[in-house]
């Protein structure tokens, strides 16, 4: 046992870069480039990838090509593709595109809910229930996101009692996993311990995932607290791509390479090849056309650059 207590032996990484990352980029990638990025993530050993959203293209134009993208992706028994599905219209699109897993999403605060999906929280709970039921009937697994769990861009700090209230309303919709979102990256470790502690009284720990944005640099610290408490699924995005277009100030998700580096260093398996993940991160940078914020990625690329310079000097 480590000084941190008994840690899970294995963790599942749920990749959200192609969805949460790309939804927030000004540059809309061509569908074929999205497929290339997803293939690079698969080559690195990623098994669960959120590839797009079946939301209104007027709200999120960057992901308007969800059907076309799914058509380009390889079918593999060991890799699951998911996408956000906000309503029955989205479900109909997702089902005809052959999606295997639907992610429903709602906020715990009224103002973010209105801005993000134009619904009150009560209306969003009803929509999530309806979509979950339809998705299960169509043979899809259902994941559910709760946003603004740690804090809201419009309402500030969110009391854990509010989170509990909403969890009680959605715990029975037939979800296999509940992903708790620190949408704007304001969470601190003690708050994380309190949230995971309270939510796990209502939803089994094995069904809880943490979706941490790294806006203020606390995502990895919060992930570590979750890990110590027994959480075994973490959402992350390649290179730290990401944000939420309807949450001002939201930055990238916890970077997949930073998470995997920490986990492997502590002896927790992920099944992911860190070297190949760096290659996928490099591709993501190239396609997006800017340096990404992932710290491990930048360190690895910097190290490679130095080695190449030394080799040139030795010639």
Closest CB 211 distance from ligand HMG, rounded Å: 5
Minimum CB separation from ligand HMG for residue 124, in Å?
Answer: 9
Contact 86/127 with Cβ under 8 angstroms?
A: yes
The stretch near Mg ion (CB under 5 A) out of 18-26, 43-51, 196-204, 291-299 is: 18-26
Rank residues 94 and 300 by Cβ distance to ligand HMG and give the closer one: 94
CA distance 112 to 106: 9
User: Of the candidates 232, 289, 283, which has an alpha carbon nearest to the alpha carbon of residue 259?
Assistant: 232
Q: Which two tokens stand for residue 246?
A: 């309807």
Say which of 42, 91, 128, 244 is annotated catalytic.
Answer: 244
Query: Which lies closer to Mg ion via its Cβ, residue 177 or residue 300?
Result: 177
Q: Which does 154 bind (CB under 5 to 8 A by kind): ligand HMG, Mg ion, none?
A: none
Token digits of residue 13: 């990484």
**How many amino acids of this chain bind Mg ion (CB under 5 A)?**
1
DSSP string, 243-279: --TTSTT--PBPBHHHHHHHHHHTT-B-S--HHHHHH
Identify the DSSP state of 19.
Answer: I
Q: Which is nearer to Mg ion, 22 or 135 (CB)?
A: 22
- Give catalytic status of residue 244 as yes or no: yes
Minimum CB–partner distance for residue 93 and Mg ion (Å) = 21
**Rule CB under 5 A: is residue 20 a binding residue for Mg ion?**
yes
Told to check if 101 binds Mg ion by CB under 5 A, we report no
Label residue 159 exposed, middle or buried (CB < 10 Å: 0-12, 13-18, 19+). Answer: exposed
89 binds, among Mg ion, ligand HMG, none (CB under 5 to 8 A by kind): ligand HMG
In angstroms, the Cα distances linking 44 to 78, 238, 247, 271 are 13, 11, 30, 9
Q: Which of Mg ion, ligand HMG, none does residue 86 bind (CB under 5 to 8 Å by kind)?
A: ligand HMG
Q: Which residues contact 150 (CB under 8 A, 6 or more apart)?
A: 157, 158, 182, 183, 184, 186, 187, 191, 192, 195
Residue nearest to Mg ion (CB): 20
Site stretch for Mg ion (CB under 5 A), options 17-25, 53-61, 167-175, 201-209: 17-25
Query: Exposure pattern of 245-261 as b/e (b: 16+ CB <10 Å)?
Result: ebbeebbbbbbbbbbbb
Sites of contact with ligand HMG (CB under 6 A)? 20, 23, 53-60, 84, 86-87, 89-90, 93, 105, 116-118, 145, 147, 181, 183, 211, 213, 244, 246
Per CB under 5 A, residues contacting Mg ion are 20
- Residues marked active site are found at 244
């Amino acid at each position: 046992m480590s000084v941190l207590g008994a840690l899970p032996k294995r963790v599942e990484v749920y990749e959200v870069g192609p969805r949460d990352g790309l939804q927030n980029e000004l540059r809309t990638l061509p569908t074929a480039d999205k497929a290339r990025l997803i293939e690079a993530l698969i080559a690195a050993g990623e098994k669960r990838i959120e590839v797009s959203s079946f939301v209104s293209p007027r709200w999120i134009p960057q992901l308007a090509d969800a059907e076309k993208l799914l058509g380009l992706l390889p079918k593999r028994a060991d890799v699951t593709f998911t996408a956000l599905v906000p309503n029955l219209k989205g479900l109909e699109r997702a089902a005809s595109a052959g999606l295997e897993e639907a992610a429903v999403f709602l906020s715990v605060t009224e103002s973010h809910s209105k801005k993000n999906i134009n619904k009150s929280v009560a209306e969003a709970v009803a929509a999530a229930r309806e979509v979950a039921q339809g998705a299960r009937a169509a043979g899809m697994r259902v994941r559910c996101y709760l946003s603004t769990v740690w804090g809201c861009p419009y309402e500030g700090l969110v009391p854990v009692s509010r989170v509990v209230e909403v969890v009680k309303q959605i715990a029975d919709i037939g979800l296999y996993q509940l992903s708790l979102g620190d949408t704007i990256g304001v969470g601190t470790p003690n708050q994380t311990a309190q949230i995971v502690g309270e939510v796990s009284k209502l939803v089994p720990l094995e069904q809880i995932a943490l979706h941490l944005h790294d806006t203020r640099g606390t995502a990895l610290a919060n992930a570590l607290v979750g890990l110590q408490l027994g959480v075994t699924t973490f959402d992350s995005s390649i290179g730290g791509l990401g944000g939420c277009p309807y949450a001002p100030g939201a930055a990238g998700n916890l970077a997949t390479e930073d998470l995997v580096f920490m986990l492997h260093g502590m002896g927790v398996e992920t099944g992911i090849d860190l070297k190949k993940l760096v290659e996928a991160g490099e591709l993501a940078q190239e396609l997006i056309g800017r340096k990404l914020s992932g710290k491990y990625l930048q360190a690895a690329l910097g190290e490679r650059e130095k080695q190449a310079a030394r080799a040139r000097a030795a010639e």
